[in-house]
């Protein structure tokens, strides 16, 4: 595999761009993720969502999945359960493998996981500067896996002084609806040091999170209390950069992320002393070279992940993945912009288990077999007419070591109208996506199927976006329809002998829906934001996806130093499946709808000190995210942030 990396690195010397994220608050602000260009929002053909640095400052004590779960079209299942709960990424009726996670522009994944996805539980919020999200098929710019959404997480950069210190600590409760004892059971701490010395810049961050006092599964017998399932996480991040000149700069970075999560028996819905330990070491670099009318940027990441499961059926997994993105951005004039790039991903994994009746681990999957490479050249062109018409179009050739070549493309025209002081944008797009099976789905010793075909999908979008000066109002409405072929599903092929495997589903299926977003400032210092999502997925694929979902938020700037907000989320009825131990069959259950109200307050005490507090699920609403799994009731948190 690594011999191929040297070849690819040599090819990259031909030159190729990536850029940083910016604001999206109005049609005059700037977006990046949908084209890899810094474009005014009115010239972008997508409705792009950004969680800005200011939003993050007002979300202390929460997690990255908590915040993403409030975006239209997205359901992150598991965010209101225990900290160790596995997360489901349901975007526009899709699944985890159809969502691509980027950190500073480079895709992250775990080849040993079922969906080849990245576990957002590993990343701490305190290292994040902003999060930008574009929905719909984006395989043209970002490759395999970008079928329903791309989530680009930008990390913080060093402060512009010799030394800067940031500390944050949060204490809170961690309790279910039936255990409202208000014991301190959740702890979040972080410390960061950064600065610039001449042409060097540096940054070091450490954070940890610990929670207890909740069991992952609910006991049906109120007289029986299941044991707590604690969660602990540690993160270390270091970065060192150097500015050679105004035209050339680079930095290297390294991460160590680890979490331990206890969990119960999901097969028998019984208390158990199971534990998952997940560790990840990630290193990489980022190089920027600018020249007249253009720039060349190279970003890469090498990740080693290890997961170990301690249970009655212990297993171990380790994986390696190297990913790079290199592209050349060139501006011909104020009308034409182009990106020419190459993206590569090289993955492998091993797995180990203990055979029945034995006591030692034996290897079940070897990286000598479970290994594939992807190298994708791509091109993207943006045309800005200056009279309202804008076109964003591109294509990518996916070159896979197992599946050969496949072409994906996108076409995204839009038209902006000036209505006096207001602006209206009409947009539409048609794009294709291509998802190859994960190494786990191909080679796992129990469920793998080497005969799997890649999954293909196409997405059509049409929508409007309105920006008015009155009350600083912004509205958007988007309709989407996605068609999927060769969908990969987990299929029971022999119920009597409990034999299952991953298979392609013969029939095509569609997921469609509407996404409405708004924001306005009706009076001075008061901001109102919200979104509504309607998702219609075919019954077989609608598991845990709410047909209707609403997010509302009212924020009030009491003074220059005081801020408060109320947030509400409604989730419609959802279906879930569970294995009935009495009938020995899978059954479907309907999880009732629910609404949750949260409160937040912050006070800037001095230039260096801020205190904040929050109450989640104010009315202690009972609900389920997954059948029989515990969810959080009313919880409170209190924290401080110090900056020097």
pLDDT tens profile 217-240: 998 887 788 999 999 999 999 999
C-alpha 640/C-alpha 167 separation (Å) is: 8
Structural tokens at position 88: 């489901």
* Residue 475 near residue 521, CB atoms below 8 Å: no
Q: How many Cα atoms within 13 Å fall on the side-chain side of residue 173?
A: 18
Residue-averaged pLDDT of the chain:
91
Band of the pLDDT at 416, cuts 50, 70, 90? very high
Band of the pLDDT at 494, cuts 50, 70, 90? confident
Would you say residue 461 has pLDDT above 90? yes
Using DSSP, state whether 349 is helix, strand or coil.
strand
Question: Terminal CA-to-CA distance of the chain, rounded, Å?
Answer: 46
Question: Residue 212 phi/psi, 5° resolution?
Answer: -150, -170
Percent of the chain with pLDDT over 90: 81
Give me the pLDDT at residue 569, please: 98
Would you say residue 22 has pLDDT above 70? no
CA distances from 248 to 240, 297, 324, 528 (A): 15, 10, 19, 42
Give me the pLDDT at residue 24, please: 35
Concatenate the DSSP letters of all residues of 89-126 into one string.
EEETT--GGGEEEEETTEEE--TTSTT----GGGS-GG
* Residue 477 near residue 515, CB atoms below 8 Å: yes
Would you say residue 14 has pLDDT above 70? no
C-alpha 133/C-alpha 164 separation (Å) is: 30
Give me the pLDDT at residue 17, please: 31
CB atoms within 10 A of CB 186: 24
User: Which of the residue ranges 25-34, 81-90, 140-149 would you say has the lowest mean pLDDT?
Assistant: 25-34
Structural tokens at position 556: 């009030």
Q: For 282-340, write each residue's pLDDT tens digit.
A: 999 999 999 999 999 999 999 999 999 999 999 999 999 999 999 999 999 989 999 99
Phi/psi-derived region of residue 148, left when phi > 0, alpha when psi is between -120 and 50, beta in every other case: alpha
Q: For 139-173, write each residue's pLDDT tens digit.
A: 899 988 899 999 999 999 999 999 999 999 999 99
* Residue 426 near residue 412, CB atoms below 8 Å: no
Structural tokens at position 374: 């992807």
Give me the pLDDT at residue 32, please: 66
Would you say residue 357 has pLDDT above 80? yes
User: Which of the residue ranges 13-17, 29-33, 53-57 would you say has the lowest mean pLDDT?
Assistant: 13-17
Torsion of CA 561, 566, 567, 570, to 10 degrees: 180
Helix ranges (H only) for 355-461 are 439-443
Beta-bridged to residue 21, according to DSSP, are none
Cα 589 from chain centroid (whole Å) = 28
Would you say residue 181 has pLDDT above 80? yes
User: Which of the residue ranges 7-16, 163-172, 560-569 would you say has the lowest mean pLDDT?
Assistant: 7-16
Report the alpha-carbon angle 214-218-220, nearest 5: 145
Pairing of strands 164-173, 635-643: antiparallel
Torsion of CA 26, 29, 31, 37, to 10 degrees: 150
* Residue 328 near residue 294, CB atoms below 8 Å: yes
In the block, tokens 């907000």 appear at: 565
Give me the pLDDT at residue 155, please: 94
Kindly state the helix (H) or strand (E) to which residue 5 belongs, with its residue range: helix 2-12
* Residue 113 near residue 119, CB atoms below 8 Å: yes
Torsion of CA 116, 119, 125, 130, to 10 degrees: 20
Band of the pLDDT at 8, cuts 50, 70, 90? very low
Kindly state the helix (H) or strand (E) to which residue 78 belongs, with its residue range: none
C-alpha 619/C-alpha 604 separation (Å) is: 28
User: Which of the residue ranges 50-54, 274-278, 433-437 would you say has the lowest mean pLDDT?
Assistant: 50-54
Q: If you average pLDDT over residues 359-388, what whole number do you get?
A: 95
Domains of the chain, first to last: 2-643 (2.40.170.20)
Would you say residue 21 has pLDDT above 50? no
Give me the pLDDT at residue 18, please: 29
Band of the pLDDT at 378, cuts 50, 70, 90? very high
CB atoms within 10 A of CB 586: 11
Structural tokens at position 106: 């480079």
* Residue 535 near residue 513, CB atoms below 8 Å: yes
Give me the pLDDT at residue 29, please: 52
For the chain, what is the radius of gyration of the CA atoms?
24
Would you say residue 408 has pLDDT above 70? yes
Give me the pLDDT at residue 389, please: 96
C-alpha 459/C-alpha 97 separation (Å) is: 16
* Residue 571 near residue 551, CB atoms below 8 Å: no
How much is the pTM?
Answer: 0.92
C-alpha 178/C-alpha 610 separation (Å) is: 33
C-alpha 134/C-alpha 18 separation (Å) is: 16
Structural tokens at position 345: 């991903």
Would you say residue 13 has pLDDT above 70? no
Give me the pLDDT at residue 9, please: 38
* Residue 149 near residue 92, CB atoms below 8 Å: yes
- In this structure, which long-range contacts are made by residues 499-502, counting pairs with CB atoms below 8 Å and at least 24 apart in sequence? 500/447, 501/447, 501/448, 501/449, 502/437, 502/441, 502/447, 502/448, 502/449, 502/452
* Residue 437 near residue 451, CB atoms below 8 Å: no
Give me the pLDDT at residue 31, please: 56
Give me the pLDDT at residue 5, please: 40
CA distances from 383 to 31, 203, 336, 388 (A): 15, 38, 5, 11
Q: For 592-629, write each residue's pLDDT tens digit.
A: 999 999 999 999 999 999 999 999 999 999 999 999 99
Helix ranges (H only) for 203-265 are none
Residues 6+ apart with CB under 8 A from 343: 142, 143, 323, 324, 325, 326, 374, 375, 376, 378, 396
Band of the pLDDT at 12, cuts 50, 70, 90? very low
Give me the pLDDT at residue 6, please: 38
Q: Which of 136, 213, 24 shows the shortest CA–CA distance to 635? A: 213
Would you say residue 104 has pLDDT above 60? yes
């Amino acid at each position: 595999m690594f011999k191929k990396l040297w070849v690819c690195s040599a090819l990259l010397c031909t030159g190729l761009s990536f850029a940083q994220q910016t604001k999206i608050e109005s049609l005059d602000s700037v977006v990046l993720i949908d084209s890899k260009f810094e474009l005014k929002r009115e010239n972008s053909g997508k409705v792009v969502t950004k969680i800005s640095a200011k939003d993050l400052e007002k979300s202390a004590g929460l997690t990255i999945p908590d915040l993403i779960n409030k975006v239209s079209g997205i359901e992150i299942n598991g965010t209101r359960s225990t900290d160790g709960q596995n997360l489901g990424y349901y975007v526009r009726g899709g699944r985890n493998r159809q969502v691509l996670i980027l950190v500073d522009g480079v895709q992250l994944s775990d080849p040993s996981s079922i969906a080849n996805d990245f576990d957002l539980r590993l990343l701490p919020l305190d290292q994040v500067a902003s999060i930008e999200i574009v929905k719909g098929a984006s395989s043209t710019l970002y490759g395999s896996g970008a079928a329903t959404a791309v989530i680009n997480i930008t990390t913080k950069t060093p402060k512009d002084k010799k030394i800067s210190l940031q500390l944050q600590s949060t204490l809170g409760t961690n309790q279910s609806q039936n255990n409202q004892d208000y014991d301190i059971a959740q702890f979040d701490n972080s410390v960061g040091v950064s600065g610039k010395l001449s042409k060097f810049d540096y940054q070091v961050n450490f954070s940890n999170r610990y929670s207890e006092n909740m069991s992952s599964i609910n006991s049906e017998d109120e007289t029986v209390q299941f044991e707590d399932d604690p969660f602990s996480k540690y993160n270390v991040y270091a970065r060192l950069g150097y500015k050679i000149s105004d035209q050339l700069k680079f930095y290297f970075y390294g991460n160590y992320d680890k979490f331990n999560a206890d969990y119960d028996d999901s097969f028998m819905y019984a208390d158990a002393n199971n534990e998952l330990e997940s560790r990840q070491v990630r290193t990489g670099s980022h190089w920027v070279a600018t020249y007249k009318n253009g720039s060349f940027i190279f970003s890469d990441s090498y990740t080693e992940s290890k997961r170990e499961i301690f249970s009655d059926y212990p297993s171990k997994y380790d994986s390696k993945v190297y990913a790079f993105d290199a592209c050349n951005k060139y501006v011909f004039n104020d009308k034409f912009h182009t990106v020419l790039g190459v993206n590569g991903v090289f993955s492998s994994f091993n797995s180990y288990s203990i055979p029945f009746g034995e006591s030692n681990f034996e290897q079940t999957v070897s990286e000598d077999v479970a290994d594939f490479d992807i190298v994708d050249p791509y091109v993207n062109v943006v045309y800005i007419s200056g009279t309202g018409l804008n076109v964003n179009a591109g294509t990518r050739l996916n070159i896979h070591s197992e599946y050969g070549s496949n072409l994906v493309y996108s076409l995204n025209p839009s038209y902006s109208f000036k209505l006096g002081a207001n602006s209206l944008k009409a947009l539409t797009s048609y794009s294709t996506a291509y998802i190859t099976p994960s190494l786990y789905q191909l080679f796992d010793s129990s469920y793998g199927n080497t005969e799997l075909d890649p999954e293909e999908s196409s997405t059509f979008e049409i929508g409007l976006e309105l920006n008015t000066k009155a009350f600083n109002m912004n509205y958007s409405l988007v309709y989407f329809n996605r068609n999927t072929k060769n969908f990969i599903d987990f299929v029971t092929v022999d119920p009597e002998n409990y034999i299952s495997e991953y298979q392609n589903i013969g029939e095509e299926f569609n997921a469609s829906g509407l996404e409405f977003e708004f924001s306005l400032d009706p009076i001075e210092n008061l901001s109102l934001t919200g979104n509504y999502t309607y998702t219609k997925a075919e019954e077989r694929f609608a598991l845990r996806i709410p047909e209707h979902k609403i997010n509302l938020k009212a924020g009030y700037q009491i003074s220059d130093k005081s801020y408060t907000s109320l947030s509400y989320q409604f989730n419609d009825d959802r279906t879930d499946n569970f294995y009935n131990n009495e009938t020995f069959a899978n059954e479907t259950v309907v999880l009732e709808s629910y609404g949750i109200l949260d409160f937040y307050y912050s006070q800037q005490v001095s230039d260096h000190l801020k205190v904040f507090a929050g109450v989640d699920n104010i009315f202690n609403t009972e609900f389920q995210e997954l059948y029989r799994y515990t969810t959080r009731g009313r919880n409170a948190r209190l924290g401080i942030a110090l900056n020097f």
